[in-house]
Chain A
């Protein structure tokens, strides 16, 4: 493995259908308990309906999904917020990991992360999060969410390679502005991407 690389994710929101295969394959890999979701898929939608009074309707509804795990940010607010040093960024590959032996479960990282990547395990009282499937990377494989995607809407690799292939955009609603944490994330924008919508599926994320 090369030293000092920075890994990142790519999300093609024009392909994603919100099927949650990434979310479930991730849970299967590590037997994540209920409510712990290392990868989440946001359903974003908006637009208005108009009743015409003659039994017909008109609308300008739009929707799309955004699948997000951890962006292993270059400015990881979770690491800065952690009082114990349990949350740390690996020099070798830029992945942000949490050392559960040190974590006190205070959830400061979860409050700091605008992507909701740190996910508390309430039974064990420790923080958990996307670890970039480091054991798969060592075997030359990609993270399980990427390889599971039925739509081939996800990719993973050294961020400079992803940006060269897919462009450097990392902004789309409902995600926070990329200037906040400098996420290692590339996003292909959906045709429907715009503001004025809302997340519809808080139950699922």
Chain B
């Protein structure tokens, strides 16, 4: 039936040859694929991996039989299928999981948050009690006392967490947040350097033009696993280039021998976590001290950048008079790297200086520098793992210097170091409406704002939306979390967070909406059960990092909403009614009318797709995709067309004028180097980092957290098929296993200054000596704040310590000791 719908549609689509839909038309009349009593509906996997893969859910009598995925077209690159990975393929077990939340619940009187003891209540009682408390707090503390936290577990277009934001906005407003746990440091390092968001890098398919790929923490084969994800763009480009016998050298720099290696690389350089900036500065030293920059890229730097040397900064003073008094031309990159002038005492950033820190021998640093200098079209890219460190802002900017120093930016095949730009089809999403409250905190500081929000300001805590000199003025008194697990599991320092949340005199109400009893749900006062994707009518696009194929899925369901669950639109509506704002919330539309409304918006945004006239017809079609019709090269419009960048100077800022101002105006957390804002990128030793004298003797091993293929962050952790397919274990290098007496398969205790976990050990040569690799996202199971976490959640070990500019998260900076 669906195939026929598609054939009708493609007959009208004319030249739109990229439009594809379910099934291949070849077998149209041969044999029906499904027995008459089975049906297929399109759903999608909506977690935060960067792709929203379509799922073809095959059901019978309202029960899921199995799950398939996009199977349309030729599957040749450019018309390749959007194949869901193992996570999407496990959705049946996730849907029927034993820990599904089935009915609204309230924490039992007399129990503590985190005890996990609840009583069932009606939806009416839940809405009345929650809504009344919100209105009471609005009256007593104002909207800044009400906060809805970050959560990315369900990228719906319609029944998303925007519905809860919408209801809270209609209650009188609430404290907002900015930023995210993935990209906090790069989202400020990118703007400081290039005036971008840090995600405007050259497309991976441009690697067909590249003779060198240098990837720092670049791991698309583990984090972008969709069958049309970034891994496929990268793989296709590498294969094309190698098949044509064009030169291509792929160098991966990572503490782990990741699955992006496996013979696809030409060289793996293992590196200590957090030291990539030291390596970058040593390479810069070799590029400058050899005279290569002077001969090859100095003219580029003079024309397109500010801050390389004294003369550049003198010119910048003239060109940017409003920043002139913040610029000291002694503070330039050349002198910093060469150890000249004010940097004489610090000395030059030689390969010898870097080698002992990063662990890469001097000759290999020299060889890497030589390759970068010799490359005609270097694709240098920096994975977001480099940004989630205590000094991640510095690391990102130190690494961005390498592509800048080559002077080859703007050419095909050359990247700026940023994450690759995505190609997406636009979908209209539910609007949260406008928030009457303008104040926003960094996503990472919410728990701190429960304790000292009233003191927070723009210049101490990077609060946005305040008047000059204004304090936030209130602590957070109510926290909502929807489709998220960052209330405890995914936030830094679980024991610290738990101690704050357990004190009911501070945060007076916690409301969690989710489908499963997550670690965060167990911290809630009220748990509201959401429906899952496969029970939903909705719409979704390809998401934010899905590579170069865009797509839309129009979700329908062959199974009824389970138990006493309601979707987030209905939950938001229930709250809005208590606030007396039903009409403003619904705008007079039924759910079906909202879906139609959002569909028509989506249809208008994609005229080239010739989408069906109605949402119902689109649900029958289920899925459309389109490969990017054009490419993207980072900074090309600036270099080739003279369009100024969105930095204060309009140029690439090696010396950030904005950060010079922030250094002047902001108050750092302490006088330590790692808390300072510096206009130039500086490799900086981190608290609990490799060099940290305070912790390195007691906690001799560094941990590098990584994204396991068996979950997306913490989503899907409760699926048995995935737990047995992808082992959760702490990886020990055989050298360390021998040194610390660790046996493979043994359960060990890992302790950091912040907490301790129990986890199985795996002995593997695929991790750097001195480093333990551990997948993040396992569900925390500690019984009290400070107790050993039998769930093995990495954030029981991490520290809460906001970064200087972003006030973001440093969750890859961890030192531990291991005991039996």
| Bound: A58/B710 CA distance, A | 30
A140 CB contact (under 8 Å) in B27, B227, B361: B27
| Bound: A204/B726 CA distance, A | 6
User: Whole-angstrom distance from the CB of A83 to the nearest CB of chain B?
Assistant: 30
Q: Assess whether A148 is in contact with B89, with CB atoms less than 8 Å apart.
A: yes
Find chain A residues with CB under 8 A from B108 CB. Answer: none
Q: What are the interface flags for A76-100 relative to B under an 8 Å C-beta threshold, 1 for contact and 0 otherwise? A: 0000000000000000000000000
| Bound: A62/B355 CA distance, A | 23
Q: Assess whether A25 is in contact with B86, with CB atoms less than 8 Å apart.
A: yes
B298 at the interface (CB under 8 A from A): no
A150 CB contact (under 8 Å) in B92, B226, B710: B226
| Bound: A29/B89 CA distance, A | 10
| Bound: A148/B766 CA distance, A | 27
Known A24-B90, A191-B263, A192-B263; judge A204-B725 contact (CB<8 A): yes
| Bound: A52/B729 CA distance, A | 28
Which residue of chain B has the shortest Cβ distance to A62 in the bound complex? B263
Known A57-B769, A61-B766; judge A34-B726 contact (CB<8 A): no
B235 at the interface (CB under 8 A from A): yes
Find chain B residues with CB under 8 A from A55 CB. Answer: 355-357, 359
B438 at the interface (CB under 8 A from A): no
B437 at the interface (CB under 8 A from A): no
A-B contacts at CB below 8 angstroms, number:
158
Known A45-B764, A147-B68, A203-B727; judge A21-B86 contact (CB<8 A): yes
* A residues 1-35 touching B (CB-CB < 8 Å): 14-21, 23-25, 27-29, 31, 34-35
Q: Assess whether A51 is in contact with B263, with CB atoms less than 8 Å apart.
A: no
Binds A, one of B254-262, B301-309, B311-319, B485-493: B254-262
Known A58-B361, A150-B226; judge A63-B762 contact (CB<8 A): no
A56 at the interface (CB under 8 A from B): yes
Find chain A residues with CB under 8 A from B31 CB. Answer: 138-140
A59 at the interface (CB under 8 A from B): yes
A151 at the interface (CB under 8 A from B): yes
A180 at the interface (CB under 8 A from B): no
User: Whole-angstrom distance from the CB of B465 to the nearest CB of chain A?
Assistant: 42
Q: Assess whether A51 is in contact with B769, with CB atoms less than 8 Å apart.
A: yes
A48 at the interface (CB under 8 A from B): yes
Q: Assess whether A200 is in contact with B86, with CB atoms less than 8 Å apart.
A: no
| Bound: A94/B733 CA distance, A | 44
Find chain B residues with CB under 8 A from A138 CB. Answer: 31
Q: How large is the interface on B (under 10, 10 to 19, 20 to 34, 35 or more residues)?
A: 35 or more
Known A49-B734, A149-B83; judge A200-B764 contact (CB<8 A): yes
A57 CB contact (under 8 Å) in B33, B89, B232, B359: B359
User: Whole-angstrom distance from the CB of B91 to the nearest CB of chain A?
Assistant: 8
| Bound: A54/B85 CA distance, A | 43
B664 at the interface (CB under 8 A from A): no
| Bound: A20/B721 CA distance, A | 10
| Bound: A28/B90 CA distance, A | 7
* B residues 434-452 touching A (CB-CB < 8 Å): none
| Bound: A65/B729 CA distance, A | 18
* B residues 74-121 touching A (CB-CB < 8 Å): 75, 83-86, 89-90, 92-93
B222 at the interface (CB under 8 A from A): yes
B89 CB contact (under 8 Å) in A21, A31, A52, A62: A21
B474 at the interface (CB under 8 A from A): no
Q: Assess whether A63 is in contact with B727, with CB atoms less than 8 Å apart.
A: no
A201 at the interface (CB under 8 A from B): yes
B709 at the interface (CB under 8 A from A): yes
Q: How many residues of A contact B (CB 8 A)?
A: 54
Q: Assess whether B361 is in contact with A52, with CB atoms less than 8 Å apart.
A: yes
B372 at the interface (CB under 8 A from A): no
* B residues 187-242 touching A (CB-CB < 8 Å): 221-222, 225-227, 229, 231-232, 235
Q: What are the interface flags for A37-76 relative to B under an 8 Å C-beta threshold, 1 for contact and 0 otherwise? A: 1000000011111011011111101111100000000000
A168 at the interface (CB under 8 A from B): no
Find chain A residues with CB under 8 A from B717 CB. Answer: none
* B residues 346-362 touching A (CB-CB < 8 Å): 355-357, 359-362
Find chain B residues with CB under 8 A from A119 CB. Answer: none
B71 at the interface (CB under 8 A from A): yes
Find chain B residues with CB under 8 A from A152 CB. Answer: 75, 227
Q: Assess whether A61 is in contact with B268, with CB atoms less than 8 Å apart.
A: yes
B483 at the interface (CB under 8 A from A): no
Q: Assess whether B263 is in contact with A148, with CB atoms less than 8 Å apart.
A: no
Q: Assess whether A56 is in contact with B765, with CB atoms less than 8 Å apart.
A: no
Q: Assess whether A64 is in contact with B262, with CB atoms less than 8 Å apart.
A: yes
| Bound: A52/B717 CA distance, A | 40
User: Whole-angstrom distance from the CB of B758 to the nearest CB of chain A?
Assistant: 16
Q: What are the interface flags for A109-145 relative to B under an 8 Å C-beta threshold, 1 for contact and 0 otherwise? A: 0000000000000000000000000000011110010
* A residues 151-202 touching B (CB-CB < 8 Å): 151-152, 190-192, 200-201
| Bound: A138/B32 CA distance, A | 11
Find chain A residues with CB under 8 A from B694 CB. Answer: none
User: Whole-angstrom distance from the CB of B626 to the nearest CB of chain A?
Assistant: 19
User: Whole-angstrom distance from the CB of B92 to the nearest CB of chain A?
Assistant: 6
Q: Assess whether A19 is in contact with B225, with CB atoms less than 8 Å apart.
A: yes
Q: What are the interface flags for B267-296 relative to A under an 8 Å C-beta threshold, 1 for contact and 0 otherwise? A: 010100000000000000000000000000
B262 CB contact (under 8 Å) in A17, A28, A59, A144: A17
B805 at the interface (CB under 8 A from A): no
User: Whole-angstrom distance from the CB of A190 to the nearest CB of chain B?
Assistant: 5
Q: Assess whether B92 is in contact with A28, with CB atoms less than 8 Å apart.
A: yes
A61 CB contact (under 8 Å) in B69, B356, B722, B765: B765
Q: Assess whether B268 is in contact with A65, with CB atoms less than 8 Å apart.
A: no
Find chain A residues with CB under 8 A from B90 CB. Answer: 24, 27-28
Q: Assess whether B262 is in contact with A49, with CB atoms less than 8 Å apart.
A: no
| Bound: A90/B299 CA distance, A | 73
B724 at the interface (CB under 8 A from A): yes
Find chain A residues with CB under 8 A from B222 CB. Answer: 17
User: Whole-angstrom distance from the CB of B715 to the nearest CB of chain A?
Assistant: 15
Q: Assess whether B263 is in contact with A57, with CB atoms less than 8 Å apart.
A: no
B499 at the interface (CB under 8 A from A): no
Find chain B residues with CB under 8 A from A24 CB. Answer: 86, 89-90, 721-722, 725
Which residue of chain B has the shortest Cβ distance to A200 in the bound complex? B764
Which residue of chain A has the shortest Cβ distance to B27 in the bound complex? A140
| Bound: A21/B92 CA distance, A | 14
B30 at the interface (CB under 8 A from A): yes
Which residue of chain A has the shortest Cβ distance to B710 in the bound complex? A20
* B residues 751-791 touching A (CB-CB < 8 Å): 762, 764-766, 768-769
Known A49-B734, A192-B262; judge A63-B766 contact (CB<8 A): yes
Q: Assess whether A54 is in contact with B724, with CB atoms less than 8 Å apart.
A: no
Find chain A residues with CB under 8 A from B661 CB. Answer: none
Known A24-B725, A149-B83; judge A34-B734 contact (CB<8 A): no
Q: Assess whether B724 is in contact with A35, with CB atoms less than 8 Å apart.
A: yes
Q: Assess whether B89 is in contact with A25, with CB atoms less than 8 Å apart.
A: yes
Known A55-B355, A61-B257, A61-B268; judge A48-B765 contact (CB<8 A): yes
Find chain B residues with CB under 8 A from A34 CB. Answer: 720, 724
Q: Assess whether A147 is in contact with B356, with CB atoms less than 8 Å apart.
A: no
Which residue of chain B has the shortest Cβ distance to A48 in the bound complex? B765
| Bound: A46/B68 CA distance, A | 35
Which residue of chain A has the shortest Cβ distance to B269 in the bound complex? A59
15 residue pairs of the A-B complex, CB under 8 angstroms, read A15-B235, A19-B85, A19-B86, A21-B225, A24-B86, A24-B90, A45-B764, A49-B734, A55-B357, A56-B360, A59-B270, A64-B263, A65-B262, A147-B68, A150-B227
Interface residues, chain B, with chain A CB atoms under 8 Å away: 27, 30-31, 33, 66-69, 71, 75, 83-86, 89-90, 92-93, 221-222, 225-227, 229, 231-232, 235, 257, 259-264, 268, 270, 355-357, 359-362, 709-710, 720-722, 724-727, 729, 733-735, 745, 762, 764-766, 768-769
**What would 18 more interface pairs be, CB under 8 Å, given A27-B721, A204-B724?**
A14-B264, A18-B262, A25-B89, A28-B66, A28-B90, A47-B765, A49-B735, A56-B362, A57-B769, A62-B263, A150-B83, A150-B226, A150-B229, A150-B231, A150-B232, A151-B227, A190-B262, A204-B725
Q: Which 6 A-B pairs have the closest CB atoms?
A: A191-B263, A55-B356, A150-B227, A24-B86, A192-B263, A20-B725
